[in-house]
């Protein structure tokens, strides 16, 4: 174990770029928002200062309206497409002038990241000071979400791009893309010259990804216009669970530092409304799972993915719902030959065990599910998610994603996607502390 821990630390140090960490050397040469949160949790296990700098660098890229972008393009790199010249976040009048970025965001990790970092911190006094200096910026980010991403005032925020979900090419999005008339773009992919294209999204999928950005750009990334015109507009249970979990973390942290009653009250109001709507709108009793809601086409997306179980991490389900989630997880994802937890329903023909977010296991989702299951007292299943994660990493190393089928792990197997992947290393450190 200590050999693996040393290797994980080595990877994180090698991916460190003076103030932030790249997810994987050539494949992802910038700072990504949700990666950054998970990575900071790992960094905190061996270098509190590094962890704090990771978070601070991301927060420095925040926009005037509280928005935090999904990628911060710190240094020019020719190994990634699309870069800053395609995204053109500067079209938005309130964009950060100093840090070029994308004009979309990613799941709100920072609240629970700060809380976990504080639990890990050896120097609690210094950590508390760090929280005091930075917590309002995270609060402002949540305020941005509720004020700009919830057009029907439901307490559920939308994402306007599949890249905002973090689960980029999940089959969840297939029916939405079928409604979109995207042109065929002429561009040079970089990811597929680094990674086997069979493990990445298709060229046609990239056309949709670029087209949705082009529509947002036509409106200078104005939120109200995006809500009106983006062909992709979804309420995502994973994204909203992470926001709700981060709200809870901010409430605890504000209580710890004292004062800020107005912010605590506001956070509690958001919580109550969000959790009520979440259970009303995103819980599908027949499936025994939480689902996504397609706000643009006004219909539920009735598919089960690992995101369907993420509300456990935010304390959203009641006891009956939590038990139903566990049954669904065991029935569909938990067969004897399967490592938990595949990213998409293995009992469907959309499941692909090798292709990115269409089936493989991801360590960040497993980390959230592990904590969620523990919180609800499903100790055995929580331990299985944890030991499955550790076993896979020990077998093949710190890859980006992994085949859930146990039977293939013999002989010369490897993980998929990028190698020396930062959040796999970081969360291994946290799971095995």
Q: How far is the CB of 28 from ligand 2M8 (least distance, A)?
A: 4
How many C-beta neighbours within 10 Å does residue 229 have?
15
Catalytic residue, from 294, 345, 400, 403: name it: 400
Q: Is 199 a catalytic residue?
A: no
Listed residue (239, 221, 224) closest to 156, CA to CA: 239
Residues that bind ligand 2M8 (CB under 6 A): 23, 28, 32, 34-35, 70, 163, 166, 168
Q: How far is the CB of 3 from ligand 2M8 (least distance, A)?
A: 25
Q: How far is the CB of 132 from ligand 2M8 (least distance, A)?
A: 28
Catalytic residue, from 47, 136, 168, 207: name it: 168
Q: Is 168 a catalytic residue?
A: yes
Q: How far is the CB of 245 from ligand 2M8 (least distance, A)?
A: 17
Q: How far is the CB of 164 from ligand 2M8 (least distance, A)?
A: 9
Residues assigned a catalytic role: 168, 400
């Amino acid at each position: 174990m200590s050999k693996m821990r040393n290797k994980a630390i080595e990877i994180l140090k090698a991916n460190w770029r003076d103030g932030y960490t790249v997810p994987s050397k050539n494949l992802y040469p910038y700072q990504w928002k949700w990666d950054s949160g998970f990575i900071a949790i790992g960094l905190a296990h061996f270098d509190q200062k590094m962890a704090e700098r990771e978070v601070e660098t991301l927060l420095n890229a925040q926009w005037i309206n509280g928005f935090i972008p999904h990628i911060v393009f710190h240094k020019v790199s020719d190994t990634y497409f699309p870069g800053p010249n395609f995204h053109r976040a500067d079209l938005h009048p309130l964009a950060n002038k100093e840090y070029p970025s994308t004009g979309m965001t990613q799941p709100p990790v920072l609240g629970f990241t700060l809380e976990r970092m504080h639990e890990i911190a050896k120097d609690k006094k210094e950590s508390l000071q760090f929280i005091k200096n930075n917590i309002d910026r995270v609060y402002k980010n949540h305020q941005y979400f509720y004020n700009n991403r919830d057009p029907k005032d439901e307490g559920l925020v939308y994402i306007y791009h599949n890249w905002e979900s973090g689960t980029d090419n999940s089959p969840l999005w297939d029916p939405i893309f079928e409604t979109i008339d995207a042109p065929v773009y002429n561009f040079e992919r970089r990811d597929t010259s680094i990674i086997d294209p069979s493990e990445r999204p298709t060229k046609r999928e990239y056309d949709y990804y670029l087209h949705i950005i082009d529509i947002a750009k036509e409106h200078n990334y104005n939120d109200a216009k995006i809500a009106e015109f983006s062909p992709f507009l979804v309420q995502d249970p994973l994204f909203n669970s992470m926001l709700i979990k981060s709200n809870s973390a901010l409430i605890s942290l504000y209580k710890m530092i004292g004062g800020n009653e107005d912010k605590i009250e506001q956070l509690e109001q958001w919580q109550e409304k969000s959790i009520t709507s979440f259970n009303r709108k995103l819980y599908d009793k027949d499936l025994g799972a939480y689902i996504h809601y397609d706000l643009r086409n006004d219909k539920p997306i009735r598919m089960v993915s690992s995101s369907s179980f993420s509300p456990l991490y935010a304390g959203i389900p009641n006891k009956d719902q939590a038990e139903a989630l566990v049954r669904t997880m065991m029935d569909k994802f938990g067969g004897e030959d399967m490592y938990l937890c595949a990213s998409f329903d293995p009992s469907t023909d959309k499941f692909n065990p090798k292709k990115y977010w269409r089936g493989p296991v991801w360590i960040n989702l497993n980390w959230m599910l592990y904590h969620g299951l523990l919180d609800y007292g499903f100790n055995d299943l929580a331990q299985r998610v944890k030991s499955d994660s550790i076993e896979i990493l020990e077998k093949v190393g710190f890859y980006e994603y992994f085949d859930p089928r146990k039977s293939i792990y013999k002989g010369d197997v490897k993980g998929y996607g990028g190698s020396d992947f930062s959040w796999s290393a970081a969360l291994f450190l946290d799971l095995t502390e």
